[in-house]
Amino acid sequence: MKSLTNTLTDPVYTAPKKYSLYDRLWLKIMNDKRDLPFIHLLIKIHLSVLPVAILLFTPLLSGWWWWAVAIPYFYVSQLYFKGRFGLMFHCLCHRKTLKAPFQQPFHTYITWIICPLFGHAPEGYFSHHMGMHHIENNMPDDTSSTMNYQRDSLKDFLAYFFKFMFRGVIDTIRYLFVRKRKKLYQRLTIGEYVFILFCIGMCFVNLKATLVVFIVPLVFARLVMMLGNWTQH
């Protein structure tokens, strides 16, 4: 049997020798300095993804100029930042990043304003992941369980994915309702259907931008999450 070394190879947080004034301002209201990279990531998103997403809805760009901005935007937001944001938001759901009274407004803002840019309908990830998935742990009552599928079958994966796409939210709402997790099923219901209505409304404002900024990322995010679930369980 091969002996394993005790050397840790996973990335770990390495504190800088000296924090900038900006970092020190954040650290005053943070619970754990190891979460500071999340703040840096959010700043990058606010300086790059968010303003361009807004720009795509304006009349300032048209024709090929619009596509010249939209294509790099999609690459940066959905292929470069998406994985980083997803891992960060997973951590933000599990732990309180900021001290009271800053935590709740911070988490609400990320959930409702930033999450949709990466394909997460408001309140959906938290309600599904924390209120159901961690409790059921892929067992039969888990609404995203892989147990009834043949894991090396593309046909089964497609059936699994489309079931989640079209029934996942409803099944999760039903799960939370039956188990009397009132706050979670209310949050999930409001977040999901407000987002659907928002996307419908924005289609009348700018169909192309709504597809690129919100709808395609939503489908892509749910595909990625189901791929992750499929390979991990």
Residue 121: band (very low, low, confident or very high) from pLDDT cuts 50, 70, 90: very high
- % of the chain surpassing 70 pLDDT: 97
Tell me how far apart the alpha carbons of residues 121 and 118 are, in angstroms, rounded to a whole number: 9
Greatest Cα pair distance in the chain: 65
- The predicted pLDDT at position 5 comes to 63
**pTM for the predicted model, two decimal places:** 0.89
Task: Provide mean pLDDT across the span 126-137.
Answer: 92
Residue 4: band (very low, low, confident or very high) from pLDDT cuts 50, 70, 90: low
Task: Provide mean pLDDT across the span 138-160.
Answer: 93
- The predicted pLDDT at position 16 comes to 84
Residue 36 has pLDDT above 90, yes or no: yes
Mean per-residue pLDDT over the chain, rounded: 93
- The predicted pLDDT at position 105 comes to 97
Residue 42 tokens, joined = 């959010």
- % of the chain surpassing 90 pLDDT: 88
| Tens-place pLDDT, residues 67-113 | 999 999 999 999 999 999 999 999 999 999 999 999 999 999 999 99
Amino acid at 189: T
Among 142, 67, 115, 94, smallest CA distance to 217 is for: 115
The CA-based angle 89-163-131, given to 5 degrees, is: 40
Tell me how far apart the alpha carbons of residues 156 and 40 are, in angstroms, rounded to a whole number: 40
- The predicted pLDDT at position 17 comes to 86
Task: Provide mean pLDDT across the span 182-211.
Answer: 96
